[in-house]
Chains A and B, each alone.
Chain A
Protein backbone atom coordinates (compact mmCIF):
# COMPACT_ATOMS: atom_id res chain seq x y z
CA UNK A 1 0.00 0.00 0.00
CA UNK A 2 2.79 2.44 0.84
CA UNK A 3 3.75 2.10 -2.82
CA UNK A 4 0.54 4.06 -3.40
CA UNK A 5 2.56 7.09 -2.27
CA UNK A 6 5.12 6.48 -5.02
CA UNK A 7 2.85 8.37 -7.39
CA UNK A 8 3.19 11.48 -5.19
CA UNK A 9 7.00 11.50 -5.05
CA UNK A 10 8.55 14.85 -6.03
CA UNK A 11 5.12 16.36 -6.39
CA UNK A 12 3.42 19.08 -4.41
CA UNK A 13 1.54 17.21 -1.76
CA UNK A 14 -0.98 18.24 0.84
CA UNK A 15 -1.05 16.55 4.22
CA UNK A 16 -3.87 16.83 6.72
CA UNK A 17 -2.65 15.97 10.20
CA UNK A 18 -4.61 14.29 12.95
CA UNK A 19 -5.12 17.61 14.71
CA UNK A 20 -6.60 19.15 11.58
CA UNK A 21 -3.65 21.18 10.28
CA UNK A 22 -2.93 21.45 6.58
CA UNK A 23 0.73 21.20 5.51
CA UNK A 24 1.85 21.48 1.91
CA UNK A 25 5.24 20.65 0.47
CA UNK A 26 7.24 18.72 -2.09
CA UNK A 27 7.18 15.02 -1.15
CA UNK A 28 10.81 13.86 -1.07
CA UNK A 29 10.36 10.60 0.80
CA UNK A 30 8.19 8.27 2.83
CA UNK A 31 8.35 4.87 4.48
CA UNK A 32 6.03 2.02 5.42
CA UNK A 33 4.90 3.89 8.55
CA UNK A 34 3.83 6.84 6.37
CA UNK A 35 6.55 9.01 7.87
CA UNK A 36 6.85 11.78 5.29
CA UNK A 37 9.64 14.13 4.20
CA UNK A 38 8.38 17.41 2.77
CA UNK A 39 10.67 19.96 1.15
CA UNK A 40 9.79 23.68 1.28
CA UNK A 41 6.88 22.82 3.53
CA UNK A 42 4.39 25.44 4.57
CA UNK A 43 1.28 25.36 6.69
CA UNK A 44 -1.96 26.91 5.50
CA UNK A 45 -3.94 28.28 8.38
CA UNK A 46 -7.59 28.78 7.52
CA UNK A 47 -9.70 31.34 9.30
CA UNK A 48 -13.28 32.54 9.06
CA UNK A 49 -12.29 36.16 9.66
CA UNK A 50 -9.19 36.57 7.50
CA UNK A 51 -7.67 35.07 4.38
CA UNK A 52 -5.48 31.98 4.47
CA UNK A 53 -2.24 32.55 6.34
CA UNK A 54 0.78 30.73 4.92
CA UNK A 55 3.52 29.86 7.39
CA UNK A 56 6.83 28.67 5.88
CA UNK A 57 8.26 25.65 7.70
CA UNK A 58 11.22 24.57 5.56
CA UNK A 59 12.25 20.92 5.41
CA UNK A 60 9.79 18.90 7.42
CA UNK A 61 9.52 15.32 8.57
CA UNK A 62 6.01 14.36 9.61
CA UNK A 63 5.77 11.27 11.76
CA UNK A 64 3.33 8.79 10.26
CA UNK A 65 1.09 8.51 13.31
CA UNK A 66 0.07 12.14 12.78
CA UNK A 67 -0.94 11.75 9.15
CA UNK A 68 -4.65 11.58 8.40
CA UNK A 69 -4.81 12.36 4.68
CA UNK A 70 -2.19 12.70 1.94
CA UNK A 71 -3.18 14.20 -1.38
CA UNK A 72 -1.57 15.42 -4.56
CA UNK A 73 -2.04 19.08 -5.43
CA UNK A 74 -2.97 20.08 -8.96
CA UNK A 75 -0.58 23.00 -9.30
CA UNK A 76 -2.60 24.60 -12.10
CA UNK A 77 -5.74 24.73 -9.97
CA UNK A 78 -3.75 25.71 -6.88
CA UNK A 79 -2.23 28.71 -8.67
CA UNK A 80 -5.65 29.92 -9.68
CA UNK A 81 -6.88 30.01 -6.06
CA UNK A 82 -6.57 33.44 -4.51
CA UNK A 83 -5.71 32.29 -0.99
CA UNK A 84 -5.78 35.82 0.45
CA UNK A 85 -9.50 35.95 -0.17
CA UNK A 86 -10.36 32.43 0.93
CA UNK A 87 -12.17 32.41 4.24
CA UNK A 88 -13.09 29.07 5.75
CA UNK A 89 -13.39 27.53 9.17
CA UNK A 90 -10.30 25.52 10.14
CA UNK A 91 -10.70 21.75 10.09
CA UNK A 92 -11.69 20.16 13.35
CA UNK A 93 -9.21 17.66 14.82
CA UNK A 94 -9.64 14.21 13.33
CA UNK A 95 -8.30 12.38 16.35
CA UNK A 96 -7.06 13.40 19.77
CA UNK A 97 -3.31 12.69 20.10
CA UNK A 98 -2.66 9.76 22.47
Chain B
Protein backbone atom coordinates (compact mmCIF):
# COMPACT_ATOMS: atom_id res chain seq x y z
CA UNK B 1 0.00 0.00 0.00
CA UNK B 2 3.01 2.22 0.54
CA UNK B 3 3.75 2.66 -3.13
CA UNK B 4 0.07 3.16 -3.87
CA UNK B 5 0.08 6.03 -1.35
CA UNK B 6 3.29 7.28 -2.85
CA UNK B 7 1.77 7.49 -6.32
CA UNK B 8 -1.46 8.96 -4.97
CA UNK B 9 0.61 11.81 -3.56
CA UNK B 10 1.81 12.44 -7.13
CA UNK B 11 -1.69 12.82 -8.64
CA UNK B 12 -1.95 16.08 -10.56
CA UNK B 13 1.79 16.32 -10.97
CA UNK B 14 3.75 15.92 -14.19
CA UNK B 15 5.35 12.50 -14.26
CA UNK B 16 7.32 10.28 -16.60
CA UNK B 17 6.42 6.61 -16.81
CA UNK B 18 9.28 4.55 -18.15
CA UNK B 19 8.19 1.26 -19.70
CA UNK B 20 10.42 -1.78 -19.55
CA UNK B 21 11.16 -1.38 -23.27
CA UNK B 22 12.72 2.05 -22.63
CA UNK B 23 9.74 3.95 -24.01
CA UNK B 24 9.17 6.95 -21.77
CA UNK B 25 5.81 8.65 -21.53
CA UNK B 26 5.54 12.10 -20.00
CA UNK B 27 2.20 13.37 -18.77
CA UNK B 28 0.12 14.62 -15.89
CA UNK B 29 -0.81 11.85 -13.46
CA UNK B 30 -4.62 11.76 -13.45
CA UNK B 31 -5.25 8.68 -11.35
CA UNK B 32 -3.66 5.51 -10.03
CA UNK B 33 -5.15 2.29 -8.66
CA UNK B 34 -4.01 -0.39 -6.21
CA UNK B 35 -2.29 -2.31 -9.03
CA UNK B 36 -0.41 0.86 -9.96
CA UNK B 37 -2.30 1.19 -13.23
CA UNK B 38 -1.86 4.82 -14.06
CA UNK B 39 -3.85 7.24 -16.15
CA UNK B 40 -1.89 10.11 -17.64
CA UNK B 41 -3.36 13.09 -19.45
CA UNK B 42 -1.74 15.45 -21.96
CA UNK B 43 0.96 12.93 -22.67
CA UNK B 44 3.97 13.26 -24.91
CA UNK B 45 6.65 10.81 -25.93
CA UNK B 46 10.14 12.09 -26.36
CA UNK B 47 13.08 10.47 -28.03
CA UNK B 48 14.35 8.16 -25.27
CA UNK B 49 17.93 9.15 -26.07
CA UNK B 50 17.06 12.74 -25.37
CA UNK B 51 15.54 12.01 -21.97
CA UNK B 52 18.12 11.91 -19.23
CA UNK B 53 15.93 9.50 -17.33
CA UNK B 54 17.93 9.44 -14.15
CA UNK B 55 18.23 13.19 -13.85
CA UNK B 56 14.53 13.51 -14.39
CA UNK B 57 13.37 10.95 -11.88
CA UNK B 58 15.74 12.31 -9.26
CA UNK B 59 14.36 15.76 -9.74
CA UNK B 60 10.87 14.33 -9.43
CA UNK B 61 11.73 12.61 -6.17
CA UNK B 62 13.43 15.58 -4.63
CA UNK B 63 10.82 18.11 -5.57
CA UNK B 64 7.65 16.35 -4.78
CA UNK B 65 8.20 13.43 -2.44
CA UNK B 66 9.47 13.20 1.08
CA UNK B 67 12.05 10.51 0.28
CA UNK B 68 13.15 10.35 3.89
CA UNK B 69 9.61 9.55 5.01
CA UNK B 70 9.23 6.96 2.24
CA UNK B 71 12.47 5.25 3.20
CA UNK B 72 11.54 5.24 6.90
CA UNK B 73 8.08 3.87 6.11
CA UNK B 74 9.59 1.07 4.00
CA UNK B 75 11.88 0.09 6.89
CA UNK B 76 8.99 0.21 9.33
CA UNK B 77 6.80 -1.98 7.12
CA UNK B 78 9.64 -4.48 6.69
CA UNK B 79 10.26 -4.57 10.45
CA UNK B 80 6.55 -5.14 11.12
CA UNK B 81 6.46 -7.98 8.58
CA UNK B 82 9.50 -9.59 10.26
CA UNK B 83 7.95 -9.21 13.70
CA UNK B 84 4.83 -11.06 12.52
CA UNK B 85 6.83 -14.09 11.38
Q: Report A97 CB to chain B, min CB distance, Å.
A: 13
Cβ contact within 8 Å between B33 and A93: no
Could you tell me the distance between the alpha carbons of A93 and B22 in the complex, rounded to whole angstroms? 10
CB distance from B72 to the nearest CB of A (A): 28
Tell me, rounded to whole Å, the shortest Cβ–Cβ distance linking B5 to chain A: 15
B60 CB, min distance to chain A CBs, angstroms: 20
User: Which residue from chain B places its CB closest to the CB of A95 in the assembled complex?
Assistant: B20
A4 touching B31, Cβ below 8 Å: yes
- Inter-subunit contact B20/A1 (CB<8 Å): no
Contacting A at CB under 8 A, from B4-32, are 19-23, 25, 30-32
* In the complex, the 6 A-B pairs of residues with the closest C-beta atoms, listed nearest first: A1-B33, A92-B21, A4-B39, A94-B21, A94-B20, A94-B19
Write the residues of chain B forming the contact surface with A, with a CB cutoff of 8 angstroms: 19-23, 25, 30-35, 37, 39, 43
Name A's B-contacting residues (CB within 8 A). 1-2, 4, 20, 34, 68-69, 71, 91-95
